[in-house]
Amino acid sequence: MDRVALRGLKARGHHGVFPKEREEGQTFIVDLVLGLDTRPAAAADDLTKTVHYGVVAEEVVEVVQGEPVDLIETLAERIAQKCLKHEGVEEVEVVVHKPDAPITVPFDDVTITITRSRV
């Protein structure tokens, strides 16, 4: 399985369990690794035979900017399901970063990582 990775997709969303998170929103960062067979695209040098990562990036941003959820686990699942709708994408690893999480001690980042597949 080949991999196409998108790193550091940024979007503002209103996800979280606290009212302040829902009202003010915050930046979320998403990393993706899409698993697919790129040989047909490479052999034909044809974008239509692979995943259009520009379209995927736009869709992921739409999910982050869309309907609020309480948990980043739920957000990651929605992103994964959106990615798997693309023909040829057999699996996806999604990392959602919440660098501005409401934590009272110093920290660098909070992430959730999930892997989903068609199987």
What is the pLDDT, as a whole number, of residue 47? 95
- Annotated active-site residue 82? The verdict is no
Here the CATH number for the domain that contains residue 86 is 3.30.1130.10
Tell me the pLDDT tens digit for each residue of 73-109: 999 999 999 999 999 999 999 999 999 999 999 999 9
Are 28 and 98 contacting, i.e. CB atoms less than 8 angstroms apart? Answer: yes
Tell me the pLDDT tens digit for each residue of 6-16: 999 999 999 99
Segments forming the whole domain that contains residue 95: 2-117
Secondary structure (3-state) at 45: coil
AA letter at 88: G
Token reading at 15: 């996800």
What is the pLDDT, as a whole number, of residue 39? 97
Catalytic residue among 10, 82, 85, 98: 98
Look at the chain and report how many structural domains it folds into.
1
Tell me the pLDDT tens digit for each residue of 23-43: 999 999 999 999 999 999 999
